[in-house]
């Protein structure tokens, strides 16, 4: 089974905040969704923290909401969901660099999930099925409205979800190390 297939099998479609949890941590493989930890996940020290759970050669797979490209000054307001928190949402290229710069991992894949846009639709559906809008707190109701507005505006797939697959390098000084 490919990592792409494994990622979809493990994460499927996000349905609740429980999807933020680390799914498997056995030293060889770490599967995590940073959907709810985007602010923490973008910290420069976060990749090293996640990699610390792995043995040398262990593999890491993460996924999270993302933008296809980095935000620009002229990004339409509809895409700035939960501003300023949206500034911590990044592109797959940004995530590749975020892990590569640690020199602790080889990034094997950092790309848009093929069904990433559907995850947004599923999140809206989950929120609406869990609670009718009149019963929602005003802040939740507004968030759902803003998500629908964003998705209706997104004709070309600017908002999605990414997946990253990385392999932890051997520590410096170990025989056969791949670190420079």
- Three-state DSSP class for 57? coil
Q: What is the pTM of this model?
A: 0.77
Structural domain boundaries in the chain: 3-168
Instruction: Give pLDDT tens digits for 37-63.
Output: 555 678 888 899 888 888 899 888 888
| CATH assignment of 3-168, among 3.30.750.210, 3.65.10.10, 3.40.50.150, 3.40.120.10 | 3.40.50.150
- Three-state DSSP class for 127? helix
Asked if residue 7 has pLDDT above 70, the reply is: no
**pLDDT at position 71, please?**
95
Q: Taking the mean position of all CA atoms in its chain, how far away is CA 45?
A: 16
Tell me the average pLDDT across 53-80. 90
Confidence of residue 97 (pLDDT cuts 50, 70, 90): very high
**pLDDT at position 88, please?**
86
Asked if residue 13 has pLDDT above 60, the reply is: no
Confidence of residue 110 (pLDDT cuts 50, 70, 90): very high
Which residues, in sequence order, are CB contacts of 111 under 8 Å at separation 6+? 92, 162, 163
- Opening angle at CA 71, ends 79 and 102, nearest 5: 125
Q: Which of 29-43, 55-69, 72-86 shows the lowest mean pLDDT across its residues? A: 29-43
Would you tell me how many other CB atoms lie within 10 Å of the CB of residue 169?
19
Confidence of residue 103 (pLDDT cuts 50, 70, 90): very high
57: left (phi over 0), alpha (psi -120 to 50) or beta: left
Indicate if the alpha-carbon torsion angle 42, 157, 12, 109 is positive or negative.
negative
Which residues, in sequence order, are CB contacts of 163 under 8 Å at separation 6+? 4, 7, 61, 62, 63, 92, 109, 110, 111, 112, 113
Q: Which of 161 and 31 is assigned the larger pLDDT?
A: 161
């Amino acid at each position: 089974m490919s990592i792409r297939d494994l990622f979809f099998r493990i994460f499927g479609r996000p349905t609740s905040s429980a999807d933020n949890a680390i799914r498997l941590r056995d030293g060889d493989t770490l599967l995590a969704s940073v959907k709810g930890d985007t602010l923490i996940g973008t910290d420069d020290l976060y990749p090293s923290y996640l990699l610390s759970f792995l043995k040398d050669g262990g593999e890491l797979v993460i996924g999270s909401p993302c933008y296809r490209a980095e935000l620009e000054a002229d990004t339409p307001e509809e895409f700035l969901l939960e501003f300023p928190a949206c500034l911590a949402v990044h592109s797959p290229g940004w995530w590749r660099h975020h892990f590569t710069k640690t020199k602790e991992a080889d990034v094997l894949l950092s790309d848009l999930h093929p069904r990433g846009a559907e995850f947004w639709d599923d999140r809206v559906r989950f929120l609406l099925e869990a609670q009718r809008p009149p019963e929602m707190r005003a802040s939740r109701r507004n968030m759902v409205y803003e998500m629908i507005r964003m998705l209706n505006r997104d004709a070309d797939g600017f908002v999605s979800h990414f997946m990253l697959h990385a392999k932890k390098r051997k520590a410096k000084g170990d025989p056969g190390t791949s670190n420079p």
